[in-house]
Amino acid sequence: LLSADNGTVDHPNGTAQQLPRIIIIGVRKGGTRALIEMLSLHSSVAAAQNEVHFFDWESHFQKGLPWYRSQMPFAYPNQITVEKTPAYFTSAKVPKRIHQMNPDVKLLLILRDPTERVLSDYTQVFYNRLQKHKRYQPIESVLVKDGEVNLGYKALNRSLYYMHMQNWLRYFPLESIHIVDGDQLIRDPLPEMKKVERFLRVEPQINASNFYFNKTKGFYCLREDGRERCLHDSKGRAHPRVPPAILQKLDQFFHQPNQKFFELVGRTFNWK
């Protein structure tokens, strides 16, 4: 059955593809996969499997909203669709585009200690290159240039949260953006997920039995209908060892930007 307004196919069992009303906008390496998987535990949530990159990739954006909708999972009428594309947070053109689609969309942003996020970002690129049999510079030479923090390293910019947040606040009120503490989500996911449920105004459903700590992985894994699963091996990788003096430089580098971010969002985080 073709529905009249959007040209998508309604499934006979009553499900249909819907535009997302919740978007996880980032940050890259903040714990976005963990967040969307944990959110999927909720029966009112239907989550897109892949990162859609609709609002940040021109070739996708030009295909328009019907295409975007066609990337979404089949959902029951009582379900809310969510997608996550971590690159949205740091892409300046995205806030306006999402606002144009739906000014009432609920945005989830998961952040982590900015220095830690940089190391995670480096690790991700390192492994991507390794897979392609390419080398990557050692972390010290990426982070530091001529004895100073290397401002040319893109991953540093992605951890300047206040800069990106300013772009979002031009289009969305703070109340539309819920910030998940990514460091807390690693340590103890349940309280963070309860806050997410409240923000989304969905019935409280996610509970302690949905999580168990897996010693081998060193992270919490999920339990749903008796089935247990951990995130992929690429989530929760060891980071390279960095000399303490360089870590300190990074922490210093982020100190001011962090303060600006705290002011912007009226909330502090336990970052170094």
CA 20/CA 81 separation, integer angstroms: 4
User: Which residue of 179, 185, 196, 202 would you call a contact of ligand A3P, by CB under 6 A?
Assistant: 185
272 is an active site residue: no
CA 160/CA 7 separation, integer angstroms: 41
Identity at 51, one-letter amino acid code: E
Count the residues of the shown chain that bind ligand A3P, applying the rule CB under 6 A.
Answer: 17
User: Which residue of 96, 145, 237, 267 would you call a contact of ligand A3P, by CB under 6 A?
Assistant: 237
Q: Is there binding between residue 159 and ligand A3P (CB under 6 A)? A: no
Q: Is there binding between residue 231 and ligand A3P (CB under 6 A)? A: yes
Q: Is there binding between residue 53 and ligand A3P (CB under 6 A)? A: no
CA 221/CA 214 separation, integer angstroms: 6
Q: Kindly compute the dihedral angle of the four CA atoms of residues 265, 269, 271, 272, in this order, to the nearest 10 degrees.
A: 100
Q: Is there binding between residue 30 and ligand A3P (CB under 6 A)? A: yes
Dihedrals phi, psi of 223, to nearest 5 degrees? -125, 125
For residue 51, which of 85, 21, 4, 100 has the smallest C-alpha distance?
85
Pick between residue 192 and residue 265 the one whose CB is nearest to ligand A3P.
192
**Is 182 assigned to a binding site?**
no
Dihedrals phi, psi of 74, to nearest 5 degrees? -75, 125
Catalytic residue among 29, 84, 106, 249: 29
Q: Is there binding between residue 129 and ligand A3P (CB under 6 A)? A: no
Torsional sign, CA 4, 101, 56, 124: negative
The encoded tokens of residue 43 equal 């029966």
User: Which residue of 17, 18, 23, 33 would you call a contact of ligand A3P, by CB under 6 A?
Assistant: 33
For residue 111, which of 56, 168, 46 has the smallest C-alpha distance?
168
Q: Is there binding between residue 206 and ligand A3P (CB under 6 A)? A: no
Pick between residue 14 and residue 138 the one whose CB is nearest to ligand A3P.
138
Task: Give the interface with ligand A3P as residue ranges (CB under 6 A).
Answer: 29-34, 86, 120, 123, 185-186, 219-220, 231, 235-237
Q: Which residues belong to the active site?
A: 29
Binding residues for 3'-phosphoadenylyl sulfate: 29-33, 112, 120, 220, 235-239
